[in-house]
Amino acid sequence: MRVLMIGPDTSAKGGIATVIANFKAYFASDEHSIQYFTTWQEGSFFKRLQATTRAFVQIKKKIREEKIDIAHIHMAQQGSFYRKSVLLLLVKKNCRVVLHIHASQFDTFYSKNSFLAQRYIRWILNKPNQVVALSEEWATFYKQLTKVPVTVIENAVKMPVNSSYNSQAKNIVAFGRLGERKGSYDILKIAKNIENKFPNVRFCLYGDGDTAEIAAQIKEKTIGNVVLGGWVKDAQKEKIMQDAVLHALPSYHEGLPMAILETMSYGIPNISTNVGGIPQVIKDNENGLLIEAGDTEQLESKIIGFLANESQREKLSNAARETIKNRFAIEAYQKKWEQLYENMEK
C-alpha cells in the first residue's frame, strides 16, 4: 500500500508535527510505504499561504502520479479543519482517506459554529473512509457527528534506552504553547506559594504563545521562580528533561499531549488534568498526579506533597516509564497503523 501523509512540516511547532516526525523516523514496513506531503510551514503569513496554496494545486497530481492508495490526513480544529477539508474533497475520488484528528477543542469548535457551519463539519466528517481519534472520549464525540468508522489510536513515542530521572532535581517544566488552554496562568497563581515552601524549586515554561503576557505578569507580580525558556527543539528538550523533577500541564482542553508521553518515557512524573485523553495515560497517585482543570488549590497542594515526598517521586517515575513502555511505545503504535491500512484495503 502506498500512503501519502498530509500535514505540517516536521520542523513546525506542535504535536501534529511531532507525530509526523515520529512516522518519518521510525515507521518501517514491508507492506506499506509512506510519502510525506507538507501543507503548513512556520514563518510569515506569505510563507504559510504559499505552502497551503501549493498543496491545493499539487495534491491531485501527486496522488495520481505516485499511485497513492491511502491519503492519511492530519487535522485539528479552526483553520486546520477548513484547509484539510478542501484537501480531503480533492483526493477523495482518487484514493481511500483516513482522517487523523488531533484537535484539543473540536467539541468547542463545533458547538460555537453556526448551524450551516455545523452541517458542513458533519458533511466533511462523513467523507473519509476512516476516522482516527486520540482517545475513547474523543471517539465517542466524533461518533455523534459521523457514520464513518471511528478507531482509537493513541499517540506514541520512542522509548529512551534508560531513565535519566533525577528525583533531587529542582526544575518543574512545562512544554507546549503557553496560554489559558494549557493552564499556564494557573501555574503563575501558585508559584509564589511554592517558592515559600521550596525556595530552590523553579518553574521553567518552554513554548510559544502568550509569552509577552506571561512575562508581563511575572514582572508585575514579582514572581521570582518562573522562567520562560522559549520554544525548544528535540536536542535541547532532552537535556532539559535530565534536570526536571516534574512536568506540569494543567490544561483545560486536550487531545493526547505528546509532551506528557515524551516526559513520562524519560521517567518524569506529570501533574495534569482530567480532560481529553489524559486520564487514559495518567492514573492519579499511580504513575502521576491528576487534578480538575482550573483547581489551583489542588494543583498547589499536590505539587507541595510531591516535592516533600522523595519515595513518591521515585515510585511515580518508575510507573510512568513502565506505562509508556507497555502501552505507548512506538513499536506497538506502528503495528496499529499497519493493521488499519490493511483493513482499509479490504
Please state the rounded mean pLDDT for residues 172-183. Answer: 95
Distances (CA, A) of 329 to 258, 322, 340: 12, 10, 17
H-type alpha helices, 69-135: 79-91, 106-111, 115-125
The superfamily (CATH) of domain 2-154+329-345 is Glycogen Phosphorylase B; (3.40.50.2000)
pLDDT-derived band at 345 (thresholds 50, 70, 90) equals confident
| Angle subtended at Cα 219 by Cα 216 and Cα 220, rounded to the nearest 5 degrees | 80
List pLDDT tens digits, range 295-306: 999 999 999 999
CATH dotted code for 171-327: 3.40.50.2000
211-220 helix and 184-197 helix, angle to the nearest 10 degrees: 30
Could you count the other beta carbons within 10 Å of the beta carbon of residue 316?
28
Domains 2-154+329-345 and 171-327 in one fold = yes
pLDDT-derived band at 346 (thresholds 50, 70, 90) equals low
Question: What is the reported pLDDT for 51?
Answer: 82
Query: Which H or E element spans position 21?
Result: helix 15-26
Q: Is the pLDDT of residue 44 over 90?
A: no
Could you count the other beta carbons within 10 Å of the beta carbon of residue 230?
10
- Which segment of 49-63, 77-91, 191-205 scores lowest on mean pLDDT? 49-63
C-alpha cell at 117: 457551519
| Angle subtended at Cα 331 by Cα 325 and Cα 333, rounded to the nearest 5 degrees | 95
Q: Is the pLDDT of residue 162 over 90?
A: no
Question: What is the reported pLDDT for 81?
Answer: 96
Q: Choose from 34-43, 156-165, 271-280 the range with maximum mean pLDDT.
A: 271-280
Q: Is the pLDDT of residue 268 over 90?
A: yes
- Which segment of 41-45, 177-181, 236-240, 337-341 scores lowest on mean pLDDT? 41-45
List pLDDT tens digits, range 109-122: 999 999 999 999 99
Please state the domain extents for the chain: 2-154+329-345, 171-327
Q: Is the pLDDT of residue 234 over 80?
A: no
Whether the CB-CB separation of 44 and 52 falls below 8 Å is answered with: no
123 vs 331, higher pLDDT: 123
